[in-house]
Amino acid sequence: MSITSRLSCLLFAVSAISSPISHRAVDGLNTRAVAAGKEYFGSATDNGELSDIPYLEGLSNTADFGSITPGNAMKWDTIEPSRGTFNFANGDTIVDLAEKNGQLLRCHTLVWHSQLPSWVSNGGFDNATLIDIMVNHITQEVTHYKGKCYHWDVVNEALNEDGTYRSSVFYDTIGPAYLPIAFAAAAAADPEAKLYFNDYNLEYGGAKFNAALEIVKLVQSYGAKIDGLGFQGHLIVGSTPSRSSQESNLNKVAALGVEAAFTELDIRTTTPATEAAVAQQAKDYAATVGACAAVEKCVGVTIWDYTDKYSWIPSVFQGQGAALPWDENLQKKELVYNAILEALS
């Protein structure tokens, strides 16, 4: 343990002893993040998990989580499964939970090629009609959640790995203008929400990251509001970029006058995880969270659920997982958890 972290532990212990019990600060990921000048440390969640009471208790612990993100409840296939029919029930459940717990909400996501109903992707709409459909979807959803969403992931995963635009019904029909049109519609429906473009594999720098910076500039050039770039942060143990290179990426975002956040952080490994892998994972979490802590414009970190029990990884990457700071039995991985705490100090 470093001298500074020993000092802060000592100071915490002293202040805990000298404070009346009712005012004793509880140390956790979110309280540390806020003490470090960040806006929150958060977790994704999903409706099906909320009946798991021990899970729910952990998620609702605001010492660790000051923000939650619906993993699926606000996606197009859930919200508007057929044209003009809106189903806000699952999203409302997550909103109510955040309100009850006093947590912020990162709302996710309005325009994405995936989890998009086929009436949109295969509708054969012309440019003007698809713009109407997209703007209507955004307007209805953002208006429904007006005042509830601290952040909105307005457009998700618009890029290929080489930095070209991903083919999707939106890009193929409307062209790159679908991005500023989407951001303008979201801003009109809720001027207070912070609006993000969100994508994965931006953490490595390079072509995809540079293209994400160009998207920020594109939206700005249309005069539409964009507030932030979301780094999803689906990383790999042992291949996570260094803290300094992640800091340099975050500084490039800040130079465009917008903020940044890690929006879906998890760091996967081969399962079962070896002791060496967990030790490396702790360092990789520290590199990423530490980079955010060091750059003022990085406002917060969200992990993509907090426990391996509900991680998406094993279903998509066979033989991979153990990506989160809590294990499948909802037990904290002390090494990883403490490394994040320390990175926030």
Active-site residues: which are they?
Answer: 157, 264
Q: How far is the CB of 75 from ligand 9MR (least distance, A)?
A: 7
- For the chain, report the end-to-end CA distance as a whole number of angstroms: 12
For CA atoms 106, 266, 308, 154, give the dihedral sign: positive
Residues 245-284 that bind ligand 9MR (CB under 6 A): 264
Q: How far is the CB of 167 from ligand 9MR (least distance, A)?
A: 17
Residue with smaller CB distance to ligand 9MR, 18 or 51: 51
Q: Does 72 bind ligand 9MR (CB under 6 A)?
A: yes
Q: How far is the CB of 109 from ligand 9MR (least distance, A)?
A: 6
Q: How far is the CB of 49 from ligand 9MR (least distance, A)?
A: 10
- The phi, psi pair for 267, rounded to 5°, reads -130, 105
Proportion of the chain in helix, strand, coil states, percent, rounded to 5? 45, 20, 35
- The phi, psi pair for 265, rounded to 5°, reads -65, 130
Nearest-angstrom CA–CA distance, 92 and 189: 18
**288 with 252: CB under 8 angstroms?**
no
Residue with smaller CB distance to ligand 9MR, 31 or 76: 76
Q: Pick from 1, 192, 202, 231: which is nearest to 105 by CA?
A: 192
Residue with smaller CB distance to ligand 9MR, 247 or 264: 264
Q: Does 90 bind ligand 9MR (CB under 6 A)?
A: no
Q: What is the DSSP string of 286-340?
A: HHHHHHHHH-TTEEEEEESSSBGGG-SHHHHSTTEE--SSB-TTS-B-HHHHHHH
For CA atoms 327, 330, 335, 340, give the dihedral sign: positive
Residue with smaller CB distance to ligand 9MR, 75 or 243: 75
Q: Pick from 140, 146, 73, 70: which is nearest to 105 by CA?
A: 70
DSSP at 273: P
> Would you give the distance in Å from CA 23 to the centre of its chain?
30
Residue with smaller CB distance to ligand 9MR, 71 or 321: 71
By rule CB under 6 A, what string of x and - marks binding of each residue 171-210 to ligand 9MR?
----------------------------------------
Residue with smaller CB distance to ligand 9MR, 31 or 240: 240
Residue of 71, 233, 241, 321 interacting with ligand 9MR (CB under 6 A): 71
Cα angle, residue 265 at apex, residues 264 and 270 outer, rounded to 5°: 120
Residue with smaller CB distance to ligand 9MR, 19 or 114: 114
Q: Pick from 140, 142, 65: which is nearest to 108 by CA?
A: 142
Q: What is the DSSP string of 163-228?
A: SSBPP-HHHHHH-TTHHHHHHHHHHHH-TTSEEEEEESS-TT-HHHHHHHHHHHHHHHHTT----E
Residue of 67, 232, 271, 288 interacting with ligand 9MR (CB under 6 A): 232
By rule CB under 6 A, what string of x and - marks binding of each residue 285-324 to ligand 9MR?
---------------------------x------------
Q: How far is the CB of 319 from ligand 9MR (least distance, A)?
A: 17
Number of residues that bind ligand 9MR (CB under 6 A): 8
Q: How far is the CB of 138 from ligand 9MR (least distance, A)?
A: 17
**225 with 183: CB under 8 angstroms?**
yes
Q: Does 114 bind ligand 9MR (CB under 6 A)?
A: yes
Q: How far is the CB of 25 from ligand 9MR (least distance, A)?
A: 32
- Which residues of the chain form contacts with ligand 9MR (CB under 6 A)? 71-72, 114-115, 156, 232, 264, 312
